[in-house]
Structures are given as structure tokens and as C-alpha cells.
Structure 1
């Protein structure tokens, strides 16, 4: 008995050192994660608010006195209008594409998913320039092919580009939600006599309803903060984010621009709150579900719905093909007196002048991707697996950008 007790004491002493080392590493990682989020996210936001209420080191609300003027109220109205319309249209079209992908065979669905991933890579200003070159007053399609002179500038262009720009992200999120549905629910619905349309209405859509709301609020938050698209394609139609950007670079008035940015925070936080709330609800619905493979599931919607979903999906990828085709065509052509002439001078200039920028972009993207992934994994671990206190607010701070 004494020998056994000595062995237990010896074992505990032997494990004491590595246990302390593990705890030390764990605390260091926790400190680095929380510290980096507070330093690089919360501190800049705090400085924006501080800049808006301090002038020359003295507390002042002068920057807020004119913000509720009729001009700025119109900017807020414009921002809410285009953000809401773009978000609703983007969510609806993404849902159509996600449903079409969900109903396809595994190989076709995987192909559509990969194509959606590819269409995520183009920045907003590239899409804006492609729209102008294709459908502008001297666009390749509107002017050269159809003989029309169309004005692409205004709220219509903003809504179109914001909608198309976020469809891929929204569709990918909704496809993940659809794939998380327990296929046994669909089989049970059909076995009980429900039609495919009734199963869609009563089983599929209610199952992903939290995900749909999450996508809607996420798109709204992104569109509210978007200034690149309105500044290129908005024309005379101004939004709050664009005016804040121009106030910095045109008037160099950081205080006023900061105050404008503060006005964007409340609607974004409200939308983000509902996004997180519905995302958690969607995750709780998927928890513990062991979804069956869809290969043996024969689920077909009525023909007219399949045609409608397929048409929307096809049109989206056709527009993406036009956009990327226009980018490639612009790289090897030059417009001379309304006619396209092939040339290699753009590629030659790029090869000598911009290759270092490409290398820097790729290296920075790789480093940022690795760091963001590590921080995200650790944040999820400490928040959801370890459930440490006060980590929920830290996770909220991490999502503020």
C-alpha cells in the first residue's frame, strides 16, 4: 500500500512540470489572441469615436452638430435604401443558386461550389469597371453590339454591383446550411405523402430560415460599409460611407469623417446582432444531426421551379463569364476610335513594372490568411470549446470589422 502511494506521489511530481509548461503556453496564446484583437480592432474603433468628439485635444461635439442636417439625413436614407435593396436581392438570388446546387448530383454540385469560390476573388472596383466597359455609354455590349447609349451611373448601378458582388459568398453560406439538413427529414416528409413542393415549403426552407436571416443581415452590414462601389459607379448618388471617405481625402477633416463613420456603427451593430443570433440558432439546429448522404435521395422539385432556379444560376455565371472575359479582353486590346485592336503592350508594361507588386500581394495574403486562420481557430477554441468567461464579447469584437 505504501509502495502504491509512493508511485502515485512520484507520478504526480513527474507530471507537474509539463503541466505547468502547458498552462503557461495556454495563457500566452490566450493573451496574444485577446491582445491582438483589442489592439488591432477595438483600439482603432475607439480612436475613430475619440477623434469625432475631440478637437485639438478638447472635448467638443461640433462634428456632430451638422450631421443631422437635411443633406446628411439624405445620405443616411440613401445608404439604408441601397444596402437594404442590395441585401434582399442578393439573399434571394443566392438562395436560388444554393437550392439549385443542393438539388444537383454530387459532381455537378461540387463543380458549382468551386465556381462560386472562384468568383469570390475579384475586388469591387474591377466589377465596377467591367460594368462600365460592358454596359456603359460606350460599352462593348450596349454601344458596339446594340447601338445603345446607357447611363450606368446612379443607385441602379450600385445595387446591381453590390448584389452581384456578394451572391457567391451568400450562396456558399446557404449551401453549407442546406447540406447540414438531416436528409431523413426529407425522406420522412415524402413517405408521409407530402409533395416535393410541400417538402420545400414546410421542411427545407424552415430548416435554413435562420441561415437566410444571417446571410441577409451580413450582406446588409457589408453593403453599409462599402464605399468603393458607390464612389466608382454611384455618380451623383451619394451614400454616407462615400462621403466619409471623400471628407478625409478631399477636405482632410478627420473629425467630421470620424463622426460620419460613427453614424454607420449603430445600424451595422444591430444588423450584426441579428446575424449572430440567427447564426447561433442555425448552428443549434445542425448540432447533433448526422446528415445522410444525398446520393440515394430522389428529391425533385416541379419542372418550372427547376427551370427558374437553373435560369437564375446560369445567368449569374454568364455575367461572371462576361466580367472575367472583359478583364482578359481589356488586358490584350486597346480601344482606338471605337474599335478594339489587339496589343501586348499592357502585358509587357505589367511584366516589367508590376510583378514585384504581385509577389508582395501574394506574400502578404498568405501571411494574413495564416494569421487570421490561427487567431480564428484559437478564438473559437477558447470561446466555444473552453467557454472561458468574457470571451463572447471578445468574439463580438473580432467580428466588428
Structure 2
């Protein structure tokens, strides 16, 4: 055999080895997601179809649920609250996003930053601050302790309080989605409309709204999912107005009725999955409307239009800032509302339930590990799926499994993990199969895993978007030179995508610090968590310490966000210059 043929044969062998290695890694990804997502869901579904003693019950649990008036009403309450929240939050979010993208108002960066602030806080804080504002002894309810000539009692506890808290929770998500949708509209459509003499109102209804209709639909479905599945706000200000999320908590924690908890979880999951599927369809159609020749719209100054929108954004920003200032103020008041002197006593959590500063530092540790593990998992998964040649069936299966977690509420993930990871073994078809995953139960590992799964899809989509912008020639040239794909990944792909990688890490950290629903069933007394401590202190009536702990969570997230901004500002500029975008 000639040296040339030997070299060619060796190159083909190396290519086959790399292809087999990619296929093996994709199969491992599918296996991991199956164990971490599908198996726990299957265990939850089986639990909902059995009796407490383990015998098969069919649909009896679901029938019993809907025949119990107090429980069945919760389903209608959840639908009502979610619909009202979605209508209010998306309307506000659209007006805010329109001001940021279609007007020439100043301080757009400031307004966008303020709009994102609620993302940094657990939704429990939304309810707690509303109590300080509109509760029986709230600032607004008492007319700022008699300083104003009027008082206002909105009847906070119940649907009103839940909707107000959820609007604050959903508003940032709506702004993000609608800002993206509005920024993608082709400026040529507006030029054509103006040349035809169309009025501003006609342009809005014939060009603007049709151009963002899929973005609006997506924002509505995302808002519905978030408010339908949220647990924190209804727990604090729900009163006797029950929703599905609080029903799950009461059934599992209050009554130790795990079977009914599983049943309610499946009921909670059904509308969420339908909304998720509709959202995916709308996002795909929105993306298909973006043409290669589209011209970005640059708004021209118009005082008649800009001044009202600037005033609107200013009022919303002041409301959000005031909301968080009330949280800080309430955490420093000695005895609300009788002694308004300032004190740091509420930041001394000794003697309080929930774990105090140990819980806070546990959350920092958990969030940091979740950020690292989640970033590695999502970016590696996106790379294998987006950059692997061929193997279409395996890649499609892996992509589907990466998308599934987005449809799962945190409470459903947490409860399904109890059933799956707490079982020492499974009896299947007469076989007694040990469960090796049981070793993770009641450890930091299961908390990290629940966070990684809970927020996996957004990180994966972010990574896939960043990787999609890279030229495929990187991999082609590397393969032609016999460079292993993992070396290309470490030396070229990861450094170029470093801004996106850091953004994914920030997303995992912030959400892991603030989440309650995904971990409230999984934490143990040995591993208390800050967000769960807020819930426990609220249950015990220690509202001010709960507010103080929430302020610490927000402070930690803001600090990490600032560090992220400082670390990536110069990096982004250098990367964009290198890529020829500037």
C-alpha cells in the first residue's frame, strides 16, 4: 500500500471514529434527558393513576378531584387569574416594548434594565411587598398612615392580589418577547405605508400589529404558562382563593396526600403543555417572517408621540423601583406599622425558621453549581445537535428532549423527582430493579439537577442561536485537517461564543437563586435554601425577616448581573469586531 493510500485510509478511520464518538455522545445526551425528564414524569403519571396503597385506580383520582367542589374550583380560579394576568401584563409589555423600539425616547437602556428587575426576585417577594402596600395595615390602605386625606382598600387577599403580583412577574418576560418581535419589523413596509398617505392609526393596525402578531401570541402563551404555574405569589396573597399550584402544595406538604398531589400536578400540566405547543408554533412562524433583505426600522424623533411614551415608561419604571424600595424599607422597619424606626434586626435570622444565613449561602452554592453544570450541559448539547453532520434521527430526538423541560412547571418537576429519586427500586413486570438514582435524593445534587432541568431549554435555545451564527466552515476545515471535533470545540467554538456562554450561566444563576417551586419539595433540613426560607418565614408570620431574606436574594442577583455586565462589555465589543459586525 502506498503512503498516500495509507494516509487516506487513516484519515477515513479517524473520521469514522469521530463520527462514532459524536453519535455516542448524542445517545448519552438522550439517555440523560430520558432519565432526568421522562422517567420522573412517567413515575408521576403512574402515581396519579394509583391508590395510596399502590393498587391501580384508573381515572378515579381525577374524577374525585373534579367532584370535590373546593378542589375543582381551583382549576377555574387558575384559568381566571392566568387570563387576567396575561391580558394586563401583555398590554403593558406591548406599550413598553413599543416605546423602546418605535420611539426616540431617551434612556432606553435604563428603562429596559428597570423592566428586568422583577426577574431577580422570588415571586414570594411580590406578594410580601403587596401586603406592605395594600394589606390591612399597608401604606396605601392607611393613606400613608393618615398623611393623605384618603385611603384605598383594594381587597388584596384573593384574585386581586394574585393578579397584581403575577403581572409584575410576567411583565419582564412580555417586554423581552415583544421587544424582539417589534425590532424585527421591516422598515420598508412603513416607508410604503407613508408614501401611500396612510394615517398613523391605520399604519399601526395594518402594518405594526400584523407584523408582530406571532410575537403577541407567543407573549400571551408565555404569560399564561408563567402565571398558571406560579406558586409563590398565590401562597402569600391568595387567602382563601385557591389555585392549582397552591393545591399541590397543600396536598403534599399540608396533608401528605401524595397521590392527590400527583393528580393535581397532571391537571396542572395539561393546559401548560397545550399553551407550550401553541407558543412553539407561533415562534416558528414569527421566525419564518424574517427576510434576508429586511431593513431595520430606525424611529425618527416625534415629540407628539415620544412625550406620552416617555411619561408612560417613566411611570412604570418609578413603580417598579418604588416596589423594590418598599421591600428594602420594610426589611429595615422595627415593628410595622407601629414603630417605624430603622433597624437591622430582621437581618439577624438566628432563631428564625428556614436556616438563616446558612440557607442563603446554600442557595449561592447551589446557584453557582447549577450555573456551571447547566451551562456546560446546554452548550454541549446544542453543539452536538447543531454541529454534528448527519445522524438526523438521533439529533431530532435529542432536540425534542431538550425542548420538553420548557413545558414542565417547577412544582411538577419537584414532585416527580420525589417519586422517582426517593424510590429505592422499581417493580416492573415482576422484576425488582434497583434504582441507582436514589443516591441523589436529599442531596445538593438533586437540587442542582432540578434547576438544570427546570431551566434547561432556555439555555439550550440560547446556545443553539449563538452556534447557528457561526460559519460551518470551522468544523469542515477542522475535519479536513484531521483535528478532533472536541479540540475545535474547546479552542475555537467555545471562545468565540463566550458571551453567550456567560449569558447562559447568568440565567441559570439568577433563576436558581429566585426559584421556589422547583426545590420546595426537594430541600432537606440539612440543606436549607433562601427562597424556601422566605416561604417558611412567611408561613410562621415572620414577614419582615422574609422580606429581608428576599432583599438578600435580589441583592445577590443584581451583584452577579453587574459583574456579568462588566466582564462581557469589552469581550462583546472585541468579539463583534472580530466577527465583522461593527
Q: What range describes the TM-score normalised by the shorter chain of this pair?
A: 0.7 to 0.9
Write out aligned runs for 1:91-102 (5 A).
91-102=90-101
Q: Does 1:217 align with 2:221?
A: yes
Q: Out of 153, 175, 179, which is 1:175 matched to?
A: 179
Q: Once structures 1 and 2 are overlaid, which stretch shifts more, 279-288 or 305-314? A: 305-314
Say what the alpha-carbon RMSD is for the aligned residues. Answer: 2.8
Q: Does 1:365 align with 2:367?
A: yes
SS in 2 for 1:57: coil
Give the Cα separation in 1 of the matches to 2:151 and 2:87.
Answer: 30
Give the Cα separation in 1 of the matches to 2:212 and 2:165.
Answer: 26
Q: Does 1:393 align with 2:400?
A: yes
Write out aligned runs for 1:114-263 (5 A).
114-143=113-142, 144=145, 145-146=147-148, 148=151, 150=153, 151-263=155-267
Q: Once structures 1 and 2 are overlaid, which stretch shifts more, 114-123 or 150-159? A: 114-123
Q: CA 1:384–1:13 in structure 2 vs 1: closer, same or farther (change >3 Å)?
A: closer
Q: Does the 8 A contact of 1:182 with 1:290 survive in 2?
A: yes
Q: Does the 8 A contact of 2:333 with 2:339 survive in 1?
A: no
Corresponding residue for residue 320 of structure 2: 320
Q: Which runs of 5+ in 1 are unaligned?
A: none
Tell me the CA shift for residue 306 of structure 1. 4.7
Q: Does the 8 A contact of 2:129 with 2:327 survive in 1?
A: yes
Tell me the CA shift for residue 124 of structure 1. 0.5
Q: Does 1:60 align with 2:60?
A: no
Tell me the CA shift for residue 340 of structure 1. 0.4
Q: Out of 35, 48, 56, which is 2:44 matched to?
A: 48
Corresponding residue for residue 265 of structure 1: 269
SS in 2 for 1:194: coil
SS in 2 for 1:120: helix
Deviation string, structure 1 residues 113-150 (Cα, Å, up to 9, x no partner) = 22223331011111100010112111123211446373
Q: CA 1:97–1:277 in structure 2 vs 1: closer, same or farther (change >3 Å)?
A: same
Write out aligned runs for 1:301-340 (5 A).
303=304, 306=306, 309-335=309-335, 338-340=338-340
TM-score by length of 1: 0.87
Corresponding residue for residue 19 of structure 2: 23
Deviation string, structure 1 residues 219-251 (Cα, Å, up to 9, x no partner) = 111211122211210111111221121011111
Q: Once structures 1 and 2 are overlaid, which stretch shifts more, 53-62 or 375-384? A: 375-384
Give the Cα separation in 2 of the matches to 1:28 and 1:370.
Answer: 23
Give the Cα separation in 2 of the matches to 1:213 and 1:10.
Answer: 59
TM-score by length of 2: 0.62
Q: Does 1:85 align with 2:89?
A: no
Give the Cα separation in 2 of the matches to 1:174 and 1:36.
Answer: 34
Q: Once structures 1 and 2 are overlaid, which stretch shifts more, 33-42 or 90-99? A: 33-42
Count residues in correspondence.
Answer: 392
Q: CA 1:379–1:105 in structure 2 vs 1: closer, same or farther (change >3 Å)?
A: farther
Q: CA 1:92–1:382 in structure 2 vs 1: closer, same or farther (change >3 Å)?
A: farther
Give the Cα separation in 2 of the matches to 1:206 and 1:175.
Answer: 15
Write out aligned runs for 1:68-79 (5 A).
68-69=66-67, 70-79=69-78
Give the Cα separation in 2 of the matches to 1:81 and 1:64.
Answer: 21
Deviation string, structure 1 residues 33-88 (Cα, Å, up to 9, x no partner) = 32332222222222211111123232113422311213333221111111111111
SS in 1 for 2:65: coil
Tell me the CA shift for residue 269 of structure 1. 1.4
SS in 2 for 1:341: strand
Give the Cα separation in 2 of the matches to 1:190 and 1:372.
Answer: 48
Q: Does the 8 A contact of 1:154 with 1:234 survive in 2?
A: yes
Deviation string, structure 1 residues 128-182 (Cα, Å, up to 9, x no partner) = 0001011211112321144637331010111111112110111011111112223
Give the Cα separation in 2 of the matches to 1:128 and 1:292.
Answer: 40
Q: Does the 8 A contact of 1:217 with 1:271 survive in 2?
A: yes
Q: CA 1:219–1:293 in structure 2 vs 1: closer, same or farther (change >3 Å)?
A: closer
SS in 1 for 2:276: helix
Q: Does the 8 A contact of 2:101 with 2:179 survive in 1?
A: yes
Q: Show structure 1 runs of 4+ deviating over 6 A.
A: none
Give the Cα separation in 2 of the matches to 1:265 and 1:298.
Answer: 45
Q: Does the 8 A contact of 1:180 with 1:289 survive in 2?
A: no
Give the Cα separation in 2 of the matches to 1:393 and 1:243.
Answer: 30
Q: Does the 8 A contact of 1:332 with 1:344 survive in 2?
A: yes
Give the Cα separation in 1 of the matches to 2:370 and 2:253.
Answer: 27
Deviation string, structure 1 residues 237-289 (Cα, Å, up to 9, x no partner) = 11122112101111101001111111122211111111110011111112535
Q: Which runs of 5+ in 2 are unaligned?
A: 409-582
Deviation string, structure 1 residues 283-311 (Cα, Å, up to 9, x no partner) = 111253554372xx4274x83x6555444
Q: Does 1:103 align with 2:102?
A: yes
